[in-house]
Amino acid sequence: MTDTALFTDEGLLGPVPAALVAGVREDDPSHGTLPVVNPATGAHVADVPLAPAETVDRAVRAAAQAQKAWGARTPLERAAVLEEISRLFAVHAEELARIVTTEQGKPYDNAVGEAHGARTFFDFAISQKYRPVGEKLVSDPGRSLETVEVPIGVVAAVLPWNFPVAIFARKVAPALMAGNAVVVKPSEFTPLSALALARLCQLAGLPDGVLSVVCGDGRVTGAALVSHPAVGMVTMTGSTRGGREILASTAQSIIPVSLELGGKAPFIIFEDADIDRAIEDAADARLWNSGQVCTCNEVTYVHASIHDEFVRRVSERYAAITPSAPDAPGSTFGPLVAERERARVQAMVDAAVEAGATVEVGGGRPAGDEFAEGAWFAPTLLSGVTSDMAIARTEVFGPVLPVIPFETEAEVVAAANSTAFGLSAYVYTRDLSRSMRMIADLEFGEVYVNQAGPESVRGYHSGWKDSGLGGDDGAHGYEKYLRRKTAYVTYER
Ligand SMILES: NC(=O)C1=CN([C@@H]2O[C@H](COP(=O)(O)OP(=O)(O)OC[C@H]3O[C@@H](n4cnc5c(N)ncnc54)[C@H](OP(=O)(O)O)[C@@H]3O)[C@@H](O)[C@H]2O)C=CC1
Ligand SMILES: O=C(O)[C@@H](O)[C@@H]1OC[C@H](O)[C@H]1O
């Protein structure tokens, strides 16, 4: 039984869950289905048809065919379609938010914000409509030398579940603006958002075949997509494990692969920081999306002189947070995306306590019968943690904050750089020279000083080490959806 509130004849999802393949709704369940579950309640929402390799093949081939005409359009013509897509994001923001809240558990107001915020990725892509398409180089008399940017062809976009609308836009908007066709494989936890957005893009006038969405398990449907011989580029956001497997799958194709992977952001507070601001930002930066953001504060290093104050004030702050059903008015703190994630986070906390950590607040399910079912985990602060513990080195991706005191700058830089990750890092200090040293010394793709994100679409969201390869956003992220051709011409003067 599907959740009738989401599936209506006039809604983006239509009356039943269906993939969009080359412009055609495909709801055939004969190859199996993917259950979608509401993480707040554990209730069944829908069954989405799985895409076998044959369906993936049809989607990619249709994309390759449709891309020829789409890529031949001028950037101005492509931008006009993206402008209509962006407009429809606003028109359908509340419907998209209901879908995200239902399948991912994000509080409704935050989900509405995600839908509107996703438009920034389209706005930046549209701004590339006047981008120079090449360069004229110095040559000899009677000869011309130039380079020109051209689309890659078919882009495979593999999405995570934490921002299913925003990260769809983050990848699809620049890929389309650059003249590519896209085949999307959403996370098995959040397929409905991508299916709704595929219909939205179709309503905006995107030609059939230029965008398809196929659903299924990453290691089956995802692997068939990224390894397809007609795919020219892969962009993926997700775990380091998934990224490694995708690199292996694409090794035979020798194509560009862009990976936004896990993180272990250190949040470093020096003794000269604006303490009130730093404590508030550190506490909040752990709880964004219930801790399920790659840029979240994953471990706070606080100068020893303010450690006890930090523990007291953050414990009070977290104890005062009331989780609530994400579709409830005013909800600000929802569940994790799935029971699998809740159990994984619980095991990490239990192991940390076993290793000597102290639970200052939280530590498991929130109190109350309403949280007995569903993937609920209370805001948690752990003290007594050392930088060699797993909780200080492994990504939690949940609302659990280990705090570690430090004495010197050299000590905290070494600790922050010692993990396998290198995505985001945060530094709070009033000392300008120290700020510049920390930006230079921290081995991370993005460093925030006296601010706690989020990243800007004009920047470059790039993970170092096990946090990724390449990057999203900005001019550098846009360039990865293009390839460059050099032309040498000799002519009669
Ligand atoms: N750097 C960043 O910006 C972000 C990083 N993440 C990271 O992702 C993780 C949580 O997200 P999650 O979705 O569980 O990550 P996963 O890596 O499990 O999944 C991400 C996507 O990749 C697919 N996938 C997984 N394995 C393969 C494979 N072998 N071949 C092709 N596709 C594959 C998944 O499919 P399926 O779901 O069916 O397994 C999913 O669509 C956390 O580690 C988090 O840090 C999340 C968001 C942002
Ligand atoms: O990937 C992430 O988790 C973050 O980059 C997140 O994704 C979309 C939002 O705009 C970012 O905060």
Kindly give the number of the ligand 2 atom that is closest to the alpha carbon of 293: 3
Whether the pLDDT of residue 318 is over 90: the answer is yes
> What percentage of residues in the chain have a pLDDT greater than 90?
99
Ligand 1 centroid vs 445 CA: distance in angstroms?
Answer: 19
* Residue 126 vs residues 76, 78, 123, 454, 471: alpha-carbon distances, Å: 9, 8, 5, 21, 19
Q: Atom 6, ligand 2: which residue's CA is nearest?
A: 293
355-373 pLDDT, tens digit per residue, is 999 999 999 999 999 999 9
401-420 pLDDT, tens digit per residue, is 999 999 999 999 999 999 99
Judge residue 491's burial from the number of C-beta atoms within 10 Å of its C-beta, 0-12 exposed, 13-18 middle, 19 or more buried: exposed
User: Residue type at 323?
Assistant: P
Give catalytic status of residue 370 as yes or no: no
Domain ranges across the chain: 4-261+469-485, 265-456
167-201 pLDDT, tens digit per residue, is 999 999 999 999 999 999 999 999 999 999 999 99
Single out the residue of 130, 122, 132, 133 nearest to residue 84, CA to CA.
Answer: 122
For helices 75-91 and 108-117, angle between their N-to-C axes, nearest 10 degrees: 160
Kindly give the number of the ligand 2 atom that is closest to the alpha carbon of 453: 12
Q: Between 453 and 37, whose confidence is greater?
A: 37
Average model confidence (pLDDT) across the chain: 97
Ligand 2 centroid vs 159 CA: distance in angstroms?
Answer: 11
Tell me, using a 6 A CB cutoff, whether residue 457 lines ligand 2. no
Ligand 2 centroid vs 292 CA: distance in angstroms?
Answer: 9
> What percentage of residues in the chain have a pLDDT greater than 70?
99
Arithmetic mean of pLDDT, 253-267: 97
Top mutation candidate among 167, 261, 451, 456 for ligand 2, by most atoms within 8 Å of CB:
167
Tell me, using a 6 A CB cutoff, whether residue 334 lines ligand 1. no
Give the DSSP H or E segment for 84. helix 75-91
Tell me, using a 6 A CB cutoff, whether residue 472 lines ligand 1. no
Q: Is the pTM of this model over 0.80?
A: yes
Arithmetic mean of pLDDT, 114-133: 98
Whether the pLDDT of residue 136 is over 90: the answer is yes
* Centroid of chain to Cα 339: 20
- The backbone torsions φ and ψ at residue 7, rounded to the nearest 5 degrees and listed phi first, read -110, 100
Single out the residue of 163, 185, 189 nearest to residue 339, CA to CA.
Answer: 189
Top mutation candidate among 36, 48, 158 for ligand 1, by most atoms within 8 Å of CB:
158
Tell me, using a 6 A CB cutoff, whether residue 151 lines ligand 1. no
Arithmetic mean of pLDDT, 249-267: 96
So what's the ipTM on this one? 0.95
Ligand 1 centroid vs 481 CA: distance in angstroms?
Answer: 20
Integer Cα distance of 462 and 446 in angstroms: 7
Whole-number pLDDT of residue 1: 42
| Active-site residue (options: 103, 114, 149, 260) | 260
Kindly give the number of the ligand 1 atom that is closest to the alpha carbon of 216: 38
Residue whose token pair is 């200052």: 360
What is 265-456's CATH superfamily? Aldehyde Dehydrogenase; Chain A, domain 2 (3.40.309.10)
Integer Cα distance of 295 and 289 in angstroms: 11
Ligand 2 centroid vs 146 CA: distance in angstroms?
Answer: 37
Local confidence band at 4 (pLDDT 50, 70, 90 cut-offs): low
Local confidence band at 453 (pLDDT 50, 70, 90 cut-offs): confident
Ligand number nearest CA of 170 is 2
Ligand number nearest CA of 50 is 1
Ligand 2 centroid vs 172 CA: distance in angstroms?
Answer: 15
Whole-number pLDDT of residue 5: 85
Whole-number pLDDT of residue 3: 59
49-87 pLDDT, tens digit per residue, is 999 999 999 999 999 999 999 999 999 999 999 999 999
Whether the pLDDT of residue 237 is over 80: the answer is yes
Tell me, using a 6 A CB cutoff, whether residue 164 lines ligand 1. no
CB neighbours (10 Å) of residue 25?
A: 17
Top mutation candidate among 89, 163, 259, 444 for ligand 2, by most atoms within 8 Å of CB:
163
Local confidence band at 493 (pLDDT 50, 70, 90 cut-offs): confident
Question: Is 4-261+469-485 CATH 2.30.30.40?
Answer: no
Tell me, using a 6 A CB cutoff, whether residue 245 lines ligand 1. yes
